[in-house]
Structure 1
Amino acid sequence: MSTTIIGLNKVKAENLTVSLNDLLSNFQVYYQNLRGLHWNIKGKNFFELHVKFEEFYTDSQEKIDMIAERILTLGGTPLHTFVDYTEKASVPVGKNVSNDVESVQLVVNSLAELLKIERAILEESDNADDEGTNSMMSDFIAEQEKTVWMLNAWLQ
């Protein structure tokens, strides 16, 4: 069995980099959505949501870097063009969204899509004995589930 420099099965690590690049692509679209929401939000909840969307995109930017660095750690190359991102992403694109409820719903829908991808990667990384990716996905999932709960409470 051929292994990577960090001792993982090479084929499983390569497959994980493909999955992580899918996640990276989706996070990049999610990040850009958050920037647009931050810039374009209007209405009585402007101040609250303007700050919240900045918090979310700052967090997403950190996660994007973590995902790219994990891909590199596994021996892969992170995708880095918008063409790649838009071709691979399944997160909904939010164009010209400025309404508070529509904005928050876009974030919830995006997080729901990211959670699906992360859970699939969690299972894949578990099968590959890749504790580094496993731990990262577990952390992302726990945080995002709480965010979805809070945003849904706001939508009520």
Structure 2
Amino acid sequence: MEKNIIGIDQKDMQSLAQELNVLLANFQTYYQSLRGLHWNIKGKNFFELHLKFEELYTDAQEKVDMIAERILTLQATPLHTFNEYTNLAKVPVANHISNDEKAVGLIVTSLSELLKIERSILNLSDEANDEGTNAMMSDFISEQEKTLWMMNAWLG
């Protein structure tokens, strides 16, 4: 088995990079949806949700960078076009959503989809002895599970 410079089997690295690119596409779509929710939210929960959505999109933007840099660390190329993102995205797109419950519901659905992708990558990275990707996925999962719980609590 041929290993790359960080000691990961070349075949495993390619599979991991491919799945991380799927995650990257989904995070970019999620990020853009959060921006739209932040801009378009209306109603009595405006101030609370406007700030929360900004917090979430700032976090998503940081994660996008972390994912892309991990792909580069694995000696692969991160996707970077909207066309590639659209083709791979499984998270829903927020299209002119201004209602608070619809907005939070979209976030719940998006986080659930991201968690599925991250758990799949976690399994791959564990099998490949890729502790860097494994640790990143573990951190993402624990943060997003908490956010998902809070969003569901807000929905009642």
Give the TM-score normalised by structure 1. Answer: 0.99
Query: What are the superposed Cα offsets for residues 86-132 of structure 1, whole Å, 9 maximum, x if unpaired?
Result: 00000011101000000000000000000000000000000000000
Aligned amino acid, residue 25 of structure 1: A
Aligned amino acid, residue 34 of structure 2: L
1:84 match: 84
Uncovered stretches (5+) of structure 1, i.e. residues with no partner: none
Aligned-residue Cα RMSD (Å) equals 0.3
Query: What are the superposed Cα offsets for residues 38-77 of structure 1, whole Å, 9 maximum, x if unpaired?
Result: 0000000000000000000000000000000000000100
2:143 match: 143
Aligned sequence identity (%): 68
Matches within 5 A, 1:121-136: 121-136=121-136
- Could you tell me how far apart the structure 2 residues matched to 1:71 and 1:134 are? 13
Instruction: Tell me the SS of whatever aligns to 1:135.
Output: helix
Q: How many corresponding residue pairs?
A: 156
Instruction: Tell me the SS of whatever aligns to 1:137.
Output: helix
- Could you tell me how far apart the structure 1 residues matched to 2:63 and 2:52 are? 17
Instruction: Tell me the SS of whatever aligns to 2:91.
Output: coil
2:68 match: 68
The alignment status of 1:47 with 2:56, answered yes or no, reads no
C-alpha displacement of 1:147: 0.3
- Could you tell me how far apart the structure 2 residues matched to 1:125 and 1:64 are? 18
- Could you tell me how far apart the structure 2 residues matched to 1:82 and 1:32 are? 11
2:104 match: 104
Aligned amino acid, residue 103 of structure 1: A
- Could you tell me how far apart the structure 2 residues matched to 1:16 and 1:75 are? 11
Instruction: Tell me the SS of whatever aligns to 2:66.
Output: helix
Uncovered stretches (5+) of structure 2, i.e. residues with no partner: none
Matches within 5 A, 1:4-23: 4-23=4-23
Aligned amino acid, residue 52 of structure 1: K
1:116 match: 116
